Amino acid sequence: MTAHRKDIEGLRAVAVLFVLAFHAGVPGLGGGFAGVDVFFVVSGFLIAGLIVRDLEAGRFRLAGFYARRARRILPAAGVVLVVTALAAWPLLPALRLRELAADVFTAALSAANWRFVAQQTDYLAADRDPSPLLHFWSLAVEEQFYLVWAPLALLAFRLAGRRAVAVAALLLTGASLALCLSWDGPAAYLATPARAWQLGVGALAALAAPYLARLPRLAAAAAGTAGGVVLAWSLALDETGYPGPQALVPTLGAAAVLLFRSPVSTLLGHPAPRAMGRLSYSWYLWHWPVVVLFGAGQPWPVKLALVLGAALPAWLTMKLVEEPVRFSPVVTELPRRGLAVGAAAMAIPVTAALLLGGVSAPRQAVAVATVEPVEPVEPAPTVDVAAARADYPPSRGCEVEPAATTSPPCLFGGPSKDRIVLIGDSHAGQWFSAALRIAQRRGWALEVLTKPGCPLPAITVVDPRLGREYRECDAWREHTLRRLEGEPPPRLVLLASLATYAGPEATLRGWRTTLARLSRLGTPLVHLRDTPLPGIDVPSCLAARPARQCAFPRERALPQDPLAETRQPGMWRLDVTEVLCPGTGPACPAVLDGVVLYRDGSHLTNTLVVRLAPRLERDLEDLDLIPTVL
Annotated domain spans of the chain: 6-356, 385-622
pLDDT at residue 463, as a whole number? 77
Residues 6+ apart with CB under 8 A from 49: 1, 2, 206, 209
With CA atoms as reference, report the closest residue to 125 among 612, 602, 544. 602
Residues 6+ away with beta carbon under 8 Å from 559: 498, 499, 500, 530, 532, 533
Query: CA-to-CA distance for 254 and 258, rounded, in angstroms?
Result: 6
* DSSP labels, 489-532: PPSEEEEE--TTSS-HHHHHHHHHHHHHHHHTT-S-EEEEPPPP
Pair 410, 436: CB distance under 8 Å: no
pLDDT score of 124: 44
In terms of CATH architecture, what is 385-622? 3-Layer(aba) Sandwich (3.40)
Cα 338 from Cα 326, distance rounded (Å) = 9
pTM, two decimals, is 0.77
d(CA 602, CA 137): 27
pLDDT value of position 3 = 53
Radius of gyration of the chain (CA): 28
Ranges in the chain, pLDDT < 70: 1-4, 120-128, 359-384, 464-467
pLDDT at 136: 96
Give the DSSP letter of residue 532: P
The H-assigned helical ranges of 319-431 are 323-327, 329-333, 335-356, 385-389, 426-429
Q: How many CB atoms lie within 10 A of CB 489?
A: 14
Amino acid 163: pLDDT = 93
Helix (H, G, I), strand (E, B) or coil at 462: strand
| Whether 5 contacts 266, CB under 8 Å | no
**Cα(54)–Cα(66) distance, rounded to whole angstroms?**
14
- The CA distances from residue 616 to 142, 573, 574, 621, in Å, are 52, 11, 7, 9
